Chains A and B, each alone.
Chain A
């Protein structure tokens, strides 16, 4: 048993390492052209260096997450959540100098060279908080009031995200919330009601925003609106499709030369798919799947409820990140900006994901 656990952790860490290497290569290939064009001092390495810095920070954070015992996390979780919530709320405060509008939305807290995306922290700390509350018996999701309080805890930050506006982030968080509640034994009838309620809210949200409306319309009519709403997914499909079975070769991608916006973050799978083809993209997704499987088995095998729910919630969070990114790139979902965990350039995401994997490895080790 112990040997098997050790092997699973080794697999988890190796897969993580391989994905980080792949991601570094992909980020460099996808960003070098843009980097040169923006004529930064670092030449073609501008985004690569940033990416490596964040990986280093993420490795430190992940190691710390691995070393801290579960009870510390349990104790920290309310404070973490509160801090993340305050940071998130600060982004929608009008005139906040630390939350500038970038590309039409204020989703980031910027202090000097540091750039933080509070929504990533909120998702992470929400999983910990729910796990702590449920495992300590303070809240029972089987009871209506327990269910409602957990749901409200998740929907407050989701609502703030809508004001950023970050509709995709809000959806992501609510999806994680529902899976988390499902794993934490919420009643199916309650969940069904919640889903219906959220869907009606989403309908109102979509209809109330011209921008989102167009995104959805563009999704429905892939060949129209190619120049506007549908431009990015269309270009992503061209990248993937022109890659073919075996790809154009490393560094041979053409779409990242300005045709595919956000090639190194929100559409990085398209770059991977263009350069390494269906074979490469499938291999990458297989690694992702192995990572998720490790997460799920850790959750299933964990001895205590806190570890079970935390591991399940974090795995669900990573899996859904992958699903949303690939869904957007392959045009299964409407266009939105979602990084591919461990691969994409995107500071907070990579740090939070590495912290999650550190925690998973801790819980996979067994013991408390």
Chain B
């Protein structure tokens, strides 16, 4: 190699080296530019994408408040349930049979067949299995790729007992108290932001995020006594089935404070398995003769009638406007007491005629008819009670005997409770107490207003006792215990179809009641249509069973000497 060539070669190498340096600088500049574009210009977009895959909001379910009966029995509670899910990409190759065997261990409760038919990446294997059923499975090793989550599910340990009162909470659909008290029961779900890893099970709570603990729902204790509730539902079911009726409803109320001790309906469930109507507050009907105590109360309280008055029942017929209203029997002159105990329409109308329209209407309102009772249940009906300016010529006479007016079984029970407790109308109470963080807190009872004086109500209780002892209500008689009550037979609103409604409203013990029971059964077969034939025996069976369960009922609420004397009363 000549020296000229060597010089040439060296300078060529230098030139090429410089080019290489320039190329290196160019490449680094390009990369830095690219980094700037990704990290600075597109930062927001990538940050969103990153947050989306890293941060995960987990809802922490609040425990729904429990519903207890007055004895502390659980009517609605929660149970831990487990759901299984498989994430197929995490299932190692050749371990699919482990998923199959899990599915077959879950048996009928698995939502997939065996062998498992793969669908998508995430597949639910089973949902809402009671925790205790699978706890052994969870303690062992689950196959790789299977995830499980614990949730909570509403349960009703006593089944359909008090179902129409308690209601149901299923998949977000609420009924009954579950709906009305939802704001108390629901509590508030918490939330937690989790920094996820790409591997299931390796995640951590982000301490800087807005994490909220759940606030559990409030437990409530009802005034319902499951023992009485059970009796009521059993007797109603028997009666409705035996008589071929459409529906039946019964309410048991403590007249001293308006507590609803039992509220039963039959059928409990509609044809499709969902809850049927709560007839006790929604099933309005014409009350028939049970309403006559309103007329009687008004007359006695106003002084229009005194107990010793007699009325000529004009052989069981009376002309009102263009109609003639008749009795079952051709009664002659009857005392006030006899009018009630024989349930004479004519006599009752004659008494009502002594009253001013407006006054009579006010008494109906004061007994709570034509307006909601305010019970803690959704969808309550107020019934129909027309004001006097809408009355026709027969309206007053019809209302006096419980027609042209509609009431709910609960309204009727509260009205009888007013007579039972000495004349004060109460708002029915379903919730006895609720439990907040400080402990159980009793809910107030609501006396609304006085309807009658003590004397008038005592007089009416005496007459009701007579009606059961010797009048139309003899089928409601219970040995050893004085029963007061009134039967009712109403032709259904659709007049002339031959459909009737059999009712009985009564109280035990008659002179100083500790319970009021109303039984209403709609459209029985015709042999059972009279209140005395169907509703009164149901009343008797219900009260007999209640007495067997809680004999103190027969003693009345409290017994002072004065009350003793009053109970004997002027005979």
Contacts and interface: CB of A to CB of B under 8 A. Distances in A.
Nearest to A297: B21
A259 interface: yes
B200 to A, nearest CB: 10
A244 B38 CA distance: 8
Interface string B1-24: 100000001001110111011001
Nearest to B197: A257
A255 B50 contact: yes
B28 A278 contact: no
B328 interface: no
A136 to B, nearest CB: 12
Contact of B197 (A183, A185, A258): A258
Contacts of B53: 238, 259
Interface of B is mostly: helix
B444 interface: no
Given A241-B45, A241-B49, A182 B31 contact: no
B17 A241 contact: no
B549 interface: no
Contacts of B20: 179, 182-183, 296, 312, 316
Interface in A233-248: 237-245
A281 B45 CA distance: 19
A289 B35 CA distance: 15
Interface stretch (A85-93, A116-124, A326-334): A326-334
B449 interface: no
A326 B40 CA distance: 17
A316 B199 CA distance: 40
Nearest to A244: B43
A185 B12 contact: yes
Interface residues of A toward B: which range? 35 or more
A260 to B, nearest CB: 9
B198 interface: yes
Nearest to A246: B39
Nearest to B43: A244
For chain B, give the interface size range. 35 or more
A178 B51 CA distance: 44
A254 interface: yes
A202 to B, nearest CB: 20
B16 A183 contact: yes
B46 A238 contact: yes
A292 B22 CA distance: 11
B202 interface: yes
A182 B39 contact: no
Contacts of B17: 183, 296, 299-300, 312
Contacts of B49: 238, 241-242
A258 B198 contact: yes
B54 A289 contact: no
A241 B34 CA distance: 11
A347 interface: no
Nearest to B27: A323
Contacts of B50: 238-239, 241-242, 254-255
Given A185-B9, A245-B39, A330-B35, A37 B199 contact: yes
A132 interface: no
A154 interface: no
A237 B34 CA distance: 11
Contact of A296 (B24, B47, B199): B24
Interface in B156-196: 195-196
Interface centre among B32, B38, B196 (most CB of A within 10 A): B38
B47 A242 contact: yes
A281 B35 contact: yes
Interface in B187-219: 195-199, 202
B8 to A, nearest CB: 10
Nearest to B52: A238
Interface in A266-310: 273, 277-278, 281-282, 285, 288-289, 292-293, 296, 299-300, 308
A332 B24 contact: no
Contacts of A237: 38, 46
A242 B43 contact: yes
Contacts of A282: 32, 35
Contacts of B24: 289, 292-293, 296, 319
Interface in B255-273: none
A183 B13 contact: yes
A273 B32 CA distance: 11
Nearest to A318: B24
A161 to B, nearest CB: 23
A98 interface: no
Interface string A307-343: 0100010001001000100110010100000000000
A291 to B, nearest CB: 10
Given A241-B45, A242-B43, A245-B40, A285 B21 contact: no
Given A240-B46, A245-B40, A308-B13, A278 B199 contact: no
B198 A330 contact: no
B39 A332 contact: no
Contact of B198 (A183, A259, A289, A296): A259
Contact of A185 (B16, B42, B202): B16
A73 interface: no
B35 A273 contact: yes
A276 B358 CA distance: 87
Residue among B9, B16, B25 facing the most chain A CB atoms (10 A cut-off): B16
B36 interface: yes
B198 A257 contact: yes
Contacts of A288: 28
A33 interface: yes
Contacts of A37: 197, 199, 202
Given A258-B197, A285-B28, A293 B21 contact: yes
Nearest to B54: A254
Most B Cβ at <10 Å: residue of A241, A319, A330: A241
Nearest to B5: A142
A26 to B, nearest CB: 16
B39 A289 contact: no
Nearest to A234: B49
Interface of A: 33, 37, 137, 179, 182-183, 185, 237-245, 254-255, 257-259, 273, 277-278, 281-282, 285, 288-289, 292-293, 296, 299-300, 308, 312, 316, 319, 323, 326-327, 330, 332
7 contacts: A241-B39, A242-B51, A254-B50, A257-B196, A273-B39, A319-B24, A332-B30
- The 4 A-B residue pairs whose C-beta atoms are closest, nearest first, are A241-B46, A258-B198, A242-B50, A257-B197
